Structure formats: structure tokens, C-alpha cells
Chain A
Amino acid sequence: MPVYIARRLLQSVLILFGISVITFILLYVLPADPVSQIAGRSATAATRETIRHQLGLDLPLYEQYGRYLMGLVHGDLGHSYLQKIAVADLILARLPATLLLMVGAIVCELALGLTMGLIAAIRRGSALDQGLMLLSFVGVSAPQFVVGIILLYVFAVQLGWFPIGGYGHFENLVLPALTLGLLGAGWYSRMMRSSMIDVLRQDYVRTARAKGISRARVIFGHALPNAILPVIAMIGIDIGVFMSGIVVVESVFGWPGIGQLAWQAIQKVDIPIIMGVTLVSALFIVLGNLLADLIAPLIDPRIKLQ
């Protein structure tokens, strides 16, 4: 096990390195010129060249990357071109909001997805089952900016149950967490349904029923714990899915997380921020996947880590 973890961690570092190289190249071959954005419209050519030199943008690409990597090793993500302050500080200030949103989304997707899947499995083949699966299909396929705006309009504007965007209270969290969690809820309900149907077919369930144990106890006491575990093991992978969702959801709801930071930075070609957020997101995805792989054998001893 320790060897496995060590090997996976080393792999993770290599993956992150690869991501940093690719992102760096993509961002720096953009036809956009960050210097024009910084220097302003009345700057002379000489001023622009001075700024280019100060930012090291006149160096060959490999040298620029080398400098960036050296900073990275020391935990320095560079400074924002336009805000001037350290990118690490900007990300750290916003990370708690993103983590909170992700926790909220996990709660939403599990609560909704598992319940829907369970009901669908028990009532397999019924109209209810079909209805729930249709709903999960909608959850999986509806674009998040559409879901977000609809939830905002119905529950905040029309019904007034929740505030219109914002941050700081529990009420603020509900709608964005729901928007972000709906996609996962769709997947989970499908996985939960098939997992539960599988378990309900097992011999031990039939034995339990034959012993005369009530249907409810068989489902909740015997079948559910076994059906739920493989589903929960997927949470690690969700983190990756969330990382792409937060950019949209945070922008719609005005949620002050790193997704919003990335979106604003992209519009202003603030490359150090885009790089920083990309790397932090990649780190989360890599760690999430590692976590999922480590949890798997704990849940199902048949899985061996090698």
C-alpha cells in the first residue's frame, strides 16, 4: 500500500508537470498581447517594451517557463498582471468559497441521487421509475447555466425563498449547490438504481426475505449498505467534474470562488491567474482521483492495489 501511494503521488506530480507545460504553451501562444492590456491605450512603444521586459515576456518561451517553474517549486504562482498582487493570495482568499460550494454540491447530489435511485430500483419498471430516470436524464444533460438561471428565476425571483445570488449565509448556498449537484444527482440516481437492482438479485437478499425479514428491513438493513458503497466511491472523481462546473455556476450566482476568478482573468488575459487556477484545479482533480482509487479497496476487498 505505501509503495502504491508513493508511486501514485509521483505519477501525480508528473501529471501536474505535464499540465503546467501544456497550459503554459497554450496561454503564451495566444495571439493576445497582455502588455497592451497593462500598458493602456496611450502608452508609447518604448513603454510597452519596458513593461514587456519587466514581465520577462521578451524572453524565449522555455526560459519564461523555467522561471515560472522555479517559482512554482517555491510555492510562488506569480503576480497578477492587472491586480499586481500575488496569485497564490488571490486563490487562497477564494478557495474556501469554492470548497464550501463543492461540499454543498456533494450533499445535494448524494441526497437527491441516492434517494431517486433507491426509489427507482424498488419500484423498478413502474411509471415512477421511468419518471425518475427521465428526470435524471434531464439532470445529466441540462447545461448548468440554464439550470442555474431557471432555479434563480423560479426560487429567488418568483417565489422569493432564497436570495438572488450572494454569499455568506446558508440560504445563499442552496441554489448554487443544487445547480452544481444536479448533474451528479443524475449520474448517482442511475448508478444507485443499477447497483441496488444488482444487490436485490443477490442470493443473500433472497435468503433474508425467505427467513421472513420484512421487506423494509431487507432493503435498508441488508441491501442498501452494499449497494451504496460503490456509488459513494465515485465522489473523488466528482471533484474533477465540479472543477469544470464551478466556472459557470459561480459566475451565474456571483459566488466568490476560484471559478469566478478564472472567468474574470480569462476575459482580461491575466495569464498568471489563469495558470494558477488551472494548476490548482488540476491538483484537486488528481488528488480526487487518487482518493477514489484508495477508497475502492476499502469498500470492496476484491480490488487489489498494485
Chain B
Amino acid sequence: MISRALLTGAAATALLLALAGGAAADPKQGGTMTVTYKDDVSTLDPAIGYDWQNWSMIKSLYSRLMDYKPGTTELTPDLATSYDVSSDGLTYTFHLRKGVKFHNGREMTADDVAYSFNRSVNPKTQSPGAAFFHSIAGYDDVAGGKADAMSGIKVVDPQTISITLSKPDATFLQVVALNFASVVAKEDVEKWGTDYGHHPDGTGAFYLDNWTLGQQVTFKRNPDYYVTGTPYLDEIDFKIGAEPLTALLQLQKGEVDVVGDGIPPAKFLEVMNDPEQKKLVVNAPQLETSYLTMKTTMKPLDDVRVRRAINMAINKDRIVKIINGRADIANQPLPPGMPGYDKDFKGYPYDPDGAKKLLADAKYDTNQSLDLLVYNTDPNPRIAQAIQQDLAAVGIKVDIKSLDQSVIIAAGGEPDQAPLIWSGGMGWIADFPDPSDFYGPILGCGSAVKGGWNWALYCNKEIDAMAAKADAMVAPDQAEARADLWKQIFDKIMTDDAPWVPVFNEERYTIHTARIGGDPSLFVDPVHIPINNNAVYATDAQ
């Protein structure tokens, strides 16, 4: 019964697409989509929300000066209709759309943009994204609590805002497309105070209709949305509390459309081996790298020969098999698809004998034992065991410490703790599709501090200078040269210093009922996770 119902749905969609042709390009509005999540939505405040659950919800409720074309990483103006960049690359002037309204009915102006940026940076807001705005002039004063407004932001008129940077920043247009740069209505922020995260009010494609704590969050289509004819769905119901295993059963019965937490690892093979279910799965590489960090400040890992040996000792093929082949092998920090990825880079191929030689050169003491910290959710402890076995084979003893994420993050920044950390489950997924995001926060000198995410405590001043140079290459015609410089940076990091073992780049798998239609890329959208709510449509409304 179940499979037949699904089959009919899938066939109907296929038929519809084949017959109508244009249906995919210009779907009719209507219908409801149901998405499940295990955990309650923590907040819908765009300055605060920073997890995979609320990230795409906030994208639907709010708009930003820039956005990405659905299903791609290509930037496009959104609340701005156009922008100019001064010749020195320091001043960006955005021209805003006219007649854009908040969900409360008030018209949005440049003042709201300025207010929203300052709010995200203000330490009172406690935004995890504050540092993204660091290149705006006056950032330090606001972030340090000495001022309320960044001097670099100037409202020229209600439809024009100019933002001056203190240093050139090639990623600035990406920054204003981040959720933290969403435009909020000041009166609502002030009205709700600490409860604003439960009463979001933006200019986005959907508005929050109802939120029953721990049970359901309901979005309705914004009838005043400035892109006429979109979004297509009338309503999105986020059902809260279903374990992914339970949610998958509900999806098979057609009760829900999308399992927001993804296909549970334990069910992955079963789903992929069943042709009916496999049809409902969309997969694509994501901008992610899972890696092993080696604390460069700690003996014996302060010796680059040891770090290289560990790189050569790990059998990455076997690790990818542990996760049912849901990833591609990595040899550098950047994932494929990111500008600057070096497809010709060889890295350190699997070579246990070579590793043993290097260790012998380094006079490695095989009696000592290194702690390997790993996040205690499946499949990470199993991956750690594979690493442990590989390292034992070349004479490196490893003790696995399976811990909670917060404990690992705390130990990661300590210079004399956590010699090895497996990043899986906490791994680095790009905030925006730019190589700088894979350097500063996880490999740069600035992040080699307590509480930071640079768990190798890697700091190479020469490379920091190269990164600063790359970030200053802001002109559009420098894009290629900039990507090339980033390529050199990451090649140099791995070749000279090898602070990490890049292990794999994970693929994303989304399962959805055939009732929800749209280009496959919308279901593995690099920015909207799990799917692009604003661009998919309901086939039963067509």
C-alpha cells in the first residue's frame, strides 16, 4: 500500500513535469509542506540562530541585501536592487527596493538595515555572528561596547545605504547575505526583548503564523512578498519532536514530506537499497570537510614529520566505507566546489611504510599514548576506532575519548590538551562559499586561542600575511588571481606544516515525498538546508 501510494505520487509528478514542461519553471501557488525535526527550534532571531535547523527557517522569514540564486552559490541582489563599489574597494553603496514591507505592515527603509547590522554586532545581543562584520569601519567600538552604531554605516536616504570598510574585504557581499545581516524591525525587537526569538518579524517570503513550544511551528505565505508570484507554498508546518527514525516511517506513510534531520544513518542502506525509496532521495556534495586536527603546540605533534606520518598512515577509503560511502576522500582543507580547490593537489597518499620511516626519522617514542577526542554520536566513535587501528599499525598508540561536543570545543583551544581531535559531527561547513571561511576561523593565527575553533592551534605568520593579501583582492577582475592565491595558501599549509589530516568531504542526502516538487538542486541547496522553502512547490496544488 505504502509503496504504491508513493509510486503513484512519483508517477504523477513525472507525468506532470513531462506534460506541462513549464510547470517546473512557473509553478502555481498553494499547498502545504510538512517538515519534521527532533529538537525544538531554539530561536528564530536572525542575530542569534546559528544551527542547521533554524538557518533555513530564518532565510524564509527574513530578507537580506544580497541573496543566492536558489540551488546555487551565485550571489544576487535581494533587498538591494543594485550596489556600487568605490574604486578603492572600501565603500559599498546599496540601493534598496521600494515598497518592501515588514510582516507588521510597516515599510522597510535604510534605517532598518543600519539598525539590524549594529544590533548583530552589539555585544548585548550576544550574536554568534558578530565577528563576520569585522571589516566595517567602527566595528571594534561597537563590538567592544564603546559605541552603539558603526561609524562606517551611513543612511544616505530611505532607499540608499553606504557602508565603508576599514580594510578591503573580498567576502563582504557574502557577509551581507548571511542570516546575521537579516533586516529586522526595531519596534518588534524592542517590544519583545529577550522573547524576540519567538516573535520574529521580517520582510521574508513567509511569516510566522503560530509556534506551539515543543510541538509545531507554522509558517504562512507572505501575501505582500516583494517578488510577485513567489513563494509557491501556502504553508509550511514544522513538526517538532519526532526522532529521525520515527519521522522516516511517517514519511513512508506520506504523513510528512521532509525529514529535516536527514536520513538516519542506521536506515541509510535500507533506503538506498529500496528502489522506491531511493527515488525520493536527492544527494549532492556539500561545502564541508571532516578532518583530524593535530595540536601543533604539543609534543610529539610539534614535529612536522610526525604530523606528515599521521597523514600518510590513515586509510581514508576505509573510513568512507564506514559511513556507507556518503563522502568523497579529501586531501586538502578546502572542499571541491569552493574557489581555490586544487584538483591537482596530491596531498599525502595512504602509505603506512612511508609513515613508519618518517616516525623513525623523528625518533618517535612508541610507548607514549595520544588522546583522540571524538564527538560521541554515531558514526564518529567508529571512525575514531578506524583511525586508532591505522595509527597503531605504524606504531602510534591512541586512546579514544568519546565526549560531548561542548567538552571537545573547550579542550580544543587548550595548548596542552586534546592532541588529536576528529572533527566529525562538529565539522566545518562553510558559512558562505568563500575559501577565506576555511582559513581565518579554523587555521588562522587569530583563532588559535582558548575557546576558538583552531584546534591544531596552528599559526603561521607568513600564511596569515598571504591570507590578508587575498582578502584585499576585492575587484571583480581579481577573482581568479584571488582563488589562485587561496589555492597556494592551502597547498602550502598542507605541504609545509600539515596541521590537519583532511579525511573526507561529506555528501548531503535529502529524502522528500514526491508531493513536493522543484529542481533537484533545491533539495540540496548549498545555503538553505535541508531544502529551499522559498522555491519548492506542492505538486497537488498544480
Determine if A45 is an interface residue (Cβ-Cβ < 8 Å): yes
Chain B residues 436-470 with CB under 8 Å of chain A are: 440-442, 446-447, 449-453
- Complex formed: what's the CA distance from A97 to B431 in Å? 37
Given A36-B410, A93-B213, CB of A165 within 8 Å of CB of B451: no
B-contact bits for A242-265, CB 8 A (1 contact / 0 none): 000000000111111100110010
**Across the interface, do B126 and A51 meet the contact criterion of CB distance under 8 Å?**
yes
Give the segment of B42-50, B336-344, B491-499 that binds chain A. Answer: B42-50
Most buried by B among A47, A51, A261: A47
Which residues of chain A are within 8 angstroms of B450 by Cβ–Cβ distance? 45
Determine if A168 is an interface residue (Cβ-Cβ < 8 Å): yes
Which residues of chain A are within 8 angstroms of B407 by Cβ–Cβ distance? 30-32
Determine if B240 is an interface residue (Cβ-Cβ < 8 Å): yes
Give the segment of A18-26, A76-84, A195-203, A221-229 that binds chain B. Answer: A76-84
A-contact bits for B404-433, CB 8 A (1 contact / 0 none): 101101110100000000000000000100
**Across the interface, do A97 and B409 meet the contact criterion of CB distance under 8 Å?**
no
B-contact bits for A89-100, CB 8 A (1 contact / 0 none): 110011001000
Determine if B39 is an interface residue (Cβ-Cβ < 8 Å): yes
- Complex formed: what's the CA distance from A264 to B246 in Å? 17
**Across the interface, do B409 and A50 meet the contact criterion of CB distance under 8 Å?**
no
Which residues of chain A are within 8 angstroms of B404 by Cβ–Cβ distance? 32, 267, 269
**Across the interface, do B40 and A45 meet the contact criterion of CB distance under 8 Å?**
no
Which residues of chain B are within 8 angstroms of A287 by Cβ–Cβ distance? none
Given A42-B131, A256-B215, CB of A36 within 8 Å of CB of B409: yes
Which residues of chain B are within 8 angstroms of A166 by Cβ–Cβ distance? 239, 241-242
Determine if A167 is an interface residue (Cβ-Cβ < 8 Å): yes
Most buried by B among A36, A157, A252: A36
Return the chain A residue nearest B39 by Cβ: A264
Determine if B8 is an interface residue (Cβ-Cβ < 8 Å): no
**Across the interface, do A38 and B197 meet the contact criterion of CB distance under 8 Å?**
no
Which residues of chain A are within 8 angstroms of B451 by Cβ–Cβ distance? 33, 35-36, 39, 43, 45, 48
Which residues of chain B are within 8 angstroms of A156 by Cβ–Cβ distance? 249
Number of chain A residues close to chain B: CB under 8 A = 54
**Across the interface, do A33 and B241 meet the contact criterion of CB distance under 8 Å?**
no
Determine if B99 is an interface residue (Cβ-Cβ < 8 Å): no
Which residues of chain A are within 8 angstroms of B132 by Cβ–Cβ distance? 42
Which residues of chain A are within 8 angstroms of B213 by Cβ–Cβ distance? 90, 93-94, 256
Determine if B519 is an interface residue (Cβ-Cβ < 8 Å): no
- Complex formed: what's the CA distance from A257 to B213 in Å? 10
Determine if B325 is an interface residue (Cβ-Cβ < 8 Å): no
Which residues of chain A are within 8 angstroms of B242 by Cβ–Cβ distance? 164-166, 254
**Across the interface, do B250 and A168 meet the contact criterion of CB distance under 8 Å?**
no
**Across the interface, do B215 and A33 meet the contact criterion of CB distance under 8 Å?**
no
Determine if A29 is an interface residue (Cβ-Cβ < 8 Å): no
- Complex formed: what's the CA distance from A51 to B124 in Å? 8
Determine if A74 is an interface residue (Cβ-Cβ < 8 Å): no
Determine if A152 is an interface residue (Cβ-Cβ < 8 Å): yes
**Across the interface, do B126 and A37 meet the contact criterion of CB distance under 8 Å?**
no
**Across the interface, do A93 and B214 meet the contact criterion of CB distance under 8 Å?**
yes
Which residues of chain B are within 8 angstroms of A167 by Cβ–Cβ distance? 215, 241
Distance (whole angstroms) from the CB of A185 to the closest CB of chain B: 24
Which residues of chain B are within 8 angstroms of A43 by Cβ–Cβ distance? 128, 130-131, 451
Which residues of chain A are within 8 angstroms of B50 by Cβ–Cβ distance? 40
Cβ 8 A contact of B246, one of A31, A34, A254, A268: A254
**Across the interface, do B123 and A47 meet the contact criterion of CB distance under 8 Å?**
yes
Cβ 8 A contact of B40, one of A42, A84, A264: A264
Most buried by A among B45, B48, B126, B212: B126
Given A38-B126, A255-B241, CB of A44 within 8 Å of CB of B246: no
Which residues of chain A are within 8 angstroms of B253 by Cβ–Cβ distance? 164
Given A54-B126, A94-B214, CB of A252 within 8 Å of CB of B243: yes
Distance (whole angstroms) from the CB of B223 to the closest CB of chain A: 28
Determine if A46 is an interface residue (Cβ-Cβ < 8 Å): yes
Determine if B526 is an interface residue (Cβ-Cβ < 8 Å): no
**Across the interface, do A84 and B241 meet the contact criterion of CB distance under 8 Å?**
no
Chain B residues 188-214 with CB under 8 Å of chain A are: 194-198, 212-214
**Across the interface, do A45 and B197 meet the contact criterion of CB distance under 8 Å?**
no
Which residues of chain B are within 8 angstroms of A82 by Cβ–Cβ distance? 42-43, 48
Determine if B129 is an interface residue (Cβ-Cβ < 8 Å): yes
Which residues of chain A are within 8 angstroms of B143 by Cβ–Cβ distance? 44, 46-47, 50
Chain B residues 111-149 with CB under 8 Å of chain A are: 123-124, 126-132, 143-145
**Across the interface, do B441 and A42 meet the contact criterion of CB distance under 8 Å?**
yes
Determine if A86 is an interface residue (Cβ-Cβ < 8 Å): yes
Determine if A146 is an interface residue (Cβ-Cβ < 8 Å): no
- Complex formed: what's the CA distance from A165 to B255 in Å? 12
Cβ 8 A contact of B241, one of A79, A85, A260: A260
Which residues of chain A are within 8 angstroms of B38 by Cβ–Cβ distance? 254
Distance (whole angstroms) from the CB of B150 to the closest CB of chain A: 15
Which residues of chain A are within 8 angstroms of B195 by Cβ–Cβ distance? 84-86, 89
Which residues of chain B are within 8 angstroms of A251 by Cβ–Cβ distance? 243
Which residues of chain B are within 8 angstroms of A46 by Cβ–Cβ distance? 143-144
- Complex formed: what's the CA distance from A269 to B241 in Å? 19
Cβ 8 A contact of B406, one of A36, A252, A253, A261: A36
Most buried by B among A84, A97, A157: A84
**Across the interface, do B214 and A261 meet the contact criterion of CB distance under 8 Å?**
yes
- Complex formed: what's the CA distance from A56 to B465 in Å? 37
Which residues of chain B are within 8 angstroms of A37 by Cβ–Cβ distance? 406, 409
Determine if A304 is an interface residue (Cβ-Cβ < 8 Å): no
Determine if A41 is an interface residue (Cβ-Cβ < 8 Å): yes
Cβ 8 A contact of B449, one of A40, A45, A264: A45
**Across the interface, do A84 and B48 meet the contact criterion of CB distance under 8 Å?**
yes
- Complex formed: what's the CA distance from A94 to B214 in Å? 8
**Across the interface, do A40 and B145 meet the contact criterion of CB distance under 8 Å?**
no
**Across the interface, do B145 and A50 meet the contact criterion of CB distance under 8 Å?**
yes
Which residues of chain A are within 8 angstroms of B131 by Cβ–Cβ distance? 40, 42-44, 47
Which residues of chain B are within 8 angstroms of A260 by Cβ–Cβ distance? 40, 214, 241
Which residues of chain A are within 8 angstroms of B214 by Cβ–Cβ distance? 93-94, 97, 256-257, 260-261
Return the chain A residue nearest B377 by Cβ: A267
**Across the interface, do A31 and B240 meet the contact criterion of CB distance under 8 Å?**
no
Given A31-B407, A93-B213, CB of A256 within 8 Å of CB of B241: yes
Given A38-B128, A167-B215, A256-B240, CB of A50 within 8 Å of CB of B123: yes
- Complex formed: what's the CA distance from A30 to B249 in Å? 37
- Complex formed: what's the CA distance from A7 to B453 in Å? 53
Which residues of chain B are within 8 angstroms of A84 by Cβ–Cβ distance? 43, 45, 48, 126, 194-197
Distance (whole angstroms) from the CB of B19 to the closest CB of chain A: 35
**Sample of 8 further A-B pairs with CB below 8 A, known A47-B123, A50-B143:** A40-B127, A43-B131, A44-B143, A164-B246, A164-B249, A165-B242, A166-B242, A260-B40
- Identify 18 residue pairs between A and B in the complex whose beta-carbon atoms are under 8 Å apart, listed by A's number: A37-B409, A40-B129, A42-B131, A42-B440, A42-B441, A47-B123, A83-B42, A83-B197, A90-B213, A93-B214, A165-B242, A166-B241, A253-B241, A254-B243, A256-B40, A256-B240, A260-B40, A264-B40
The 9 tightest CB contacts between A and B, nearest first, are: A40-B128, A254-B241, A256-B214, A32-B406, A33-B410, A93-B213, A50-B123, A41-B453, A269-B406
